[in-house]
Structure 1
Amino acid sequence: MKKAFILSILFSLCYSLAWTQTKPVDSTQTAKPKTKNIDFNVMPYLSYNRTLDFMFGAIPMMMYRLNKADTISPKSLSGISAIYTTNKSYFVCSFNKWYFDEDKWRIQAFLMTGNKNAQFYVDDLNVSDFYDYGTKMTIVNFSVQRRIIKGLYGGLGYSYSHYDTNYQDNIQPSSITHTNGLQLITLYDTRDAVYYPTKGDKIRLRWLAYPTWFGNDVSANKILSEYNKYFPMRNGKDVLAARFAGKFGLGNIAFEQQVTIGSEDIRGYSEDKYRGDGLIDVQGEYRYNFAKRMGVVGFAGVATIYGSDTDSFNWKLYPGAGVGYRYRAFKNEKFNVGLDGAVGKGDWGIYFRIGEAF
């Protein structure tokens, strides 16, 4: 299954490269400027995390049109990232977003493998502390969405995860977990751009089911919801973005499937301390563009969790706030990479961004 998936990705990339070929130019005709169909860049990756320590690597990626004549579809994006951390974790992943047929179809494909050395918090009557664990993981996600009416999409997805986890001091038994998930997707999208929207809405609702008849040891469900709103500021030069998100775990949620406060929901937490079956957050971000290819952001938000093994963590408020720098990665497309620094409740984090936080 994995080999077939990888071959499908390579085939799609080769297909996109085929569109970059141009017909021979008649020497008797006036030469016209050629338009590059592929924007390619290699971005260095450098970050720090209180759990993973220093992280460094490289991210080659490209933007392109699957059909040069299709100017309605957003440009497609493909990339590979390879990251190593000083706590001896590593991650290699391939990420792809394909848009075609005048934006009637949207396909996403993600493949990651790696070894994550992290920590989790245990609240015990005798001793409350962080304990290390190591997880060898393989994750595959694939989804297809079709436009139903203007702005409204529906789709299906499949996800596969395999985890081999060992815990420090045998505080929990070692475990091997694999899940096969089916995904039902509804998307309402009125943004003026998918990579850097300045106005519009993005409302996405996903139902993930892990039934036992589909190769899972136990039955579980997840509901993932998000509502992003964008307001143009300073005559369209800047953007005010707002986000509400909810991640709700139902049933037997595995340790590796639990959510933690951090990353996009909410920045400022990198110790993986606040972990549970579900999470709700709200946040806002102002994106100030002071140059053609550079900008800064300021953001703040608050989150809460439920289903934590530490009862005192449940339904408390966890605020986070910070600032960040943005750089436009591609000359012909508004797509940013950047670095964020944020503080939370007794925690802080530094985040390298590929695209905006939301």
Structure 2
Amino acid sequence: MVRASVQWSAFYFCLAAASFAYAAQEPSRFRDAEDGQFDMSDVLLNHRGVLPVPNIITEPAIGYGLGLGLLYFSAAKPGTVEPGKPSSDETGERNAMAPPNITGVGAFGTGTHSWGVGLAHFHTWNDDRIRYFGALGKVNLHLNYYGPQGNANAYQLSGVAVVQQVLFRLGNSHWYVGPRYTFFDTATRFGPVVPQGINHFQKDLRIGKAGIVIDYDTRDNIFYPSRGSYAEFEADIARGALASDRSFEMQTARGYHWVPLSPAWVLGMRADTGFSQGDIPFFAQPYVNLRGISQAKFQDRNQVTGELELRYNITPRWSVLGFGGVGKAYGNLHSFSDAPTAFAFGTGFRYLIARKLGVSMGVDVAHGPGQNAFYIQVGSAWR
């Protein structure tokens, strides 16, 4: 694994060197005509450029490692609003930046021999009246399951996942409604003993679930908003008719709201909940998701999470931020009152790397119970 890490590091170095060399040869393509700063908007939109997103993985759940994502942005089709320009309907109410079409591929590997590869695509049609998202991925993860006593029990989760979603805007409103289907063909391996708290354990399991998604979106930018709201509610069922070996139900709701306190300060607020019923597999249960906390460390039948983020815009390009949040997972292993409280906080920065697209990149450093984590972010950490 050390050899593989060295190879990945060499690859990133060569990629960075090639990018800077190309930028030196074609400086005008990497300078914004508006402020003269380094900017990739022209390359990404007009020269079929790809945005590389290297990632130093410090996620406690899967260990330390490296990853690389490649994002390709394409402009809106003729007759629709171009990326980077305001989108408005007949009433003039919609003034958010129209989202571009995005295709992404990525891969990662860590020192625990966890790895994954994936492909995803986001597309809009008809002035953002139709939104499509699709993803395909394969993973082999070495994780920990935390039982009633909070003890870590190592297990391996591998499989192939597919996600398909289409949302339709309701009239000229900010509301979107549509179906989502998720399929995950999994293989799970523990040691000789299955930990306490897991019922009906199956080594090989297929999950097929379908549901309805309702979105509300008034963000001024889908990547790094400065004002507006985003909310999503999803209700899913898993049944044999949907290619699932288990029957269960899930409901999730999340909401984000950004308030500009002044020209320089922006306050972000987040609320996130998840609920489940029926014979749901242990690894598919809702869990507390906060920067600085190991993924799925706080996991149970239900979860509730809240987080605040305060951003200061030093310049139109550079910003710094601080964040903190709390959450609880409960319902099976613990009652709500007895469930341990998860908490995390940290700081970070962003640079507006593609102004016409509204894409910012930066780093977050977070601290949770007994651990620290480092994240390379594209835009907001809230997805």
Q: Which of the five TM-score ranges fits, normalised by the shorter chain?
A: 0.7 to 0.9
Deviations 1:51-109 (A, max 9, x none): 32212021111222241442234211211111111111111111221122101101111
**1:20 aligned residue:** none
Alignment of 1:194-233 (within 5 A): 194-233=222-261
Question: SS of the residue aligned with 2:192?
Answer: helix
After TM superposition, the structure 1 stretch with the greater mean CA deviation from structure 2, 165-174 or 316-325, is: 165-174
**2:107 aligned residue:** 82
Letter in 2 for 1:259: P
**1:185 aligned residue:** 213
Letter in 2 for 1:191: R
After TM superposition, the structure 1 stretch with the greater mean CA deviation from structure 2, 243-252 or 187-196, is: 187-196
Cα distance in structure 2, aligned partners of 1:96 and 1:319: 33
Flag structure 1 segments of 5+ consecutive residues without an equivalent.
1-32
Q: Contact 1:284/1:300 (CA < 8 Å) preserved in 2? A: yes
Deviations 1:263-315 (A, max 9, x none): xx322211743221221011111122324443222101111111343669954
Cα distance in structure 2, aligned partners of 1:205 and 1:258: 17
Whether 1:163 and 2:212 are equivalent positions in the alignment is no
Deviations 1:17-66 (A, max 9, x none): xxxxxxxxxxxxxxxx9971745211211121223221202111122224
Q: Contact 1:39/1:332 (CA < 8 Å) preserved in 2? A: no
Cα distance in structure 1, aligned partners of 2:231 and 2:253: 8
Pairwise CA RMSD of aligned residues? 2.4
Q: TM-score, normalised by structure 2?
A: 0.76
Whether 1:289 and 2:296 are equivalent positions in the alignment is no
Choose the corresponding residue for 2:329, options 297, 305, 312: 305
Cα distance in structure 2, aligned partners of 1:37 and 1:156: 34
Cα distance in structure 2, aligned partners of 1:353 and 1:314: 34
Letter in 2 for 1:168: G
Deviations 1:219-249 (A, max 9, x none): 11111101111112432x4421101111111
Letter in 2 for 1:241: G
After TM superposition, the structure 1 stretch with the greater mean CA deviation from structure 2, 278-287 or 341-350, is: 341-350
User: In the superposition, relative to structure 1, how do residues 65 and 253 fare at CA in structure 2: closer, same or farther (>3 Å)?
Assistant: same
Choose the corresponding residue for 2:284, options 244, 257, 268: 257
Letter in 2 for 1:118: L
Cα distance in structure 2, aligned partners of 1:282 and 1:45: 26
Cα distance in structure 1, aligned partners of 2:338 and 2:353: 40
Cα distance in structure 2, aligned partners of 1:326 and 1:156: 34
Question: SS of the residue aligned with 2:283?
Answer: helix
Choose the corresponding residue for 2:74, options 56, 61, 64: 64
**1:267 aligned residue:** 291
Whether 1:108 and 2:139 are equivalent positions in the alignment is no
Whether 1:325 and 2:349 are equivalent positions in the alignment is yes
Question: SS of the residue aligned with 2:273?
Answer: strand
Q: How many residues align?
A: 319
User: In the superposition, relative to structure 1, how do residues 216 and 289 fare at CA in structure 2: closer, same or farther (>3 Å)?
Assistant: same
Cα distance in structure 2, aligned partners of 1:74 and 1:194: 7
Cα distance in structure 2, aligned partners of 1:329 and 1:81: 20
**1:239 aligned residue:** 266
Choose the corresponding residue for 2:62, options 52, 69, 77: 52
- Structure showing the higher strand proportion among its residues: 1
Aligned identity (percent) is 21
Question: SS of the residue aligned with 2:183?
Answer: strand
Letter in 2 for 1:152: W
Cα distance in structure 2, aligned partners of 1:76 and 1:271: 29
Q: 4+ residue stretches of structure 1 with deviation over 6 A?
A: none
Q: Quote the offset at 1:180 in angstroms.
A: 0.9
Q: Contact 1:40/1:330 (CA < 8 Å) preserved in 2? A: no
**2:145 aligned residue:** 120
Cα distance in structure 1, aligned partners of 2:296 and 2:370: 12
Deviations 1:126-150 (A, max 9, x none): xx73221111121111100011131
Cα distance in structure 2, aligned partners of 1:165 and 1:58: 26
Cα distance in structure 2, aligned partners of 1:175 and 1:327: 45
Cα distance in structure 2, aligned partners of 1:61 and 1:238: 29
Q: Contact 2:132/2:167 (CA < 8 Å) preserved in 1? A: yes
Flag structure 2 segments of 5+ consecutive residues without an equivalent.
1-41, 82-86, 88-97, 196-200
Cα distance in structure 1, aligned partners of 2:313 and 2:188: 43
Q: Contact 2:57/2:110 (CA < 8 Å) preserved in 1? A: no
Letter in 1 for 2:286: V
Q: Contact 2:327/2:342 (CA < 8 Å) preserved in 1? A: yes
Choose the corresponding residue for 1:141, options 163, 172, 176: 163
